Homo-oligomer: A and B are copies of this chain.
Amino acid sequence: MQTTVSLGIDIGGTNIAFGIIDKSGNCLANGSLPTTAYNTPQDFVQDLYKTVKKELDNLDVQLVGIGVGAPNGNYFNGTIENAANLSWKGTIPMVELLTKQFNVPAFITNDAKAAAIGEMVYGGAKGMKDFVVITLGTGLGSGIVVNGKLVYGHDGLAGEVGHTLVCGGDRYCNCGRRGCLETYASATGIKRTACELLALENTPSTLRDIPYTEISAKKVYDAAQKGDPIALEAFRITGEQLGKALANLVAIISPEAIFLQGGVANAGEWLFKTTQEQMEANMLYIFKQKIKILRSSLPTNAAIYGASALVWTELNN
């Protein structure tokens, strides 16, 4: 009997990554296509089919479904809706396009929700019924699982932890408001915090010689590695804001664990330690010392794992 596999697709503004993954989480083949090379999503789907078909034939496996993680991916409608970082405008019926071309069921969700499904099916949340995945990238995404199921809310739009407001927050957010958590706890947030500290403090810092546009979370990280006090303080403040927000989140849904995914989550113990400390310090006593903050155990291309995992959970329903 042929091994059954799912195709996981992670749609980003620059690249579209895909992986052919079996039920145990083995990635049998993967690749990527340049998003901007395709004028229409139809062109992309056709080209993807050709590429994937070859791989499937080589592997001699049976494709049973396709999962897509995409910015503004709408699970209920099977569409990508007005994604700011894609050149394909309006509402794209991605599930319909994929189903027609591949003749297997397809499912779509947004990137952070796919990340949570990936963690549940292949990663550290295996066997957990209640947990949260926080993705720390340009912004802060979140996928919340309650009673073993992803929380979509009544309109499919739940999980916007990045757009809860932090106390005293005054930074402008892309959403049009001020003080959203993601303006503090994200790669962009770390950069903004570091730059604010440069103006606030008189401490010497190597970051003082880099223009604003060139400062990145990675550069703050590199400076922190060398003991730069501004960079270290930027990470501490980031962990403080994140920890406080997580304390409130815990009071609402009491998850067993909170997983941090994404580039920033690799920023070592500075971020984890302060986040955990501040979560504990601000949390109701009944939750203290019970909620784990864990690093995601998925590979760096977690997004294609999450997208492919969606297939297994959906076909099981």
Contact = CB atoms under 8 A, between A and B. Distances in A.
B248 A165 contact: yes
Contacts of A136: none
Contacts of A254: 152-160
Contacts of A152: 147, 254
Contact of A285 (B161, B175, B255, B284): B175
A251 B160 contact: yes
Given A164-B252, A165-B248, A285-B175, A146 B157 contact: no
A282 interface: yes
B129 A252 contact: no
B253 A286 contact: no
A23 interface: no
Interface residues of A, number: 43
A38 interface: no
Contact of A284 (B160, B255, B290): B160
A49 interface: no
A151 interface: yes
15 contacts: A146-B151, A146-B153, A147-B149, A151-B253, A152-B254, A153-B253, A154-B255, A157-B286, A158-B254, A160-B284, A161-B252, A163-B284, A164-B252, A167-B167, A176-B285
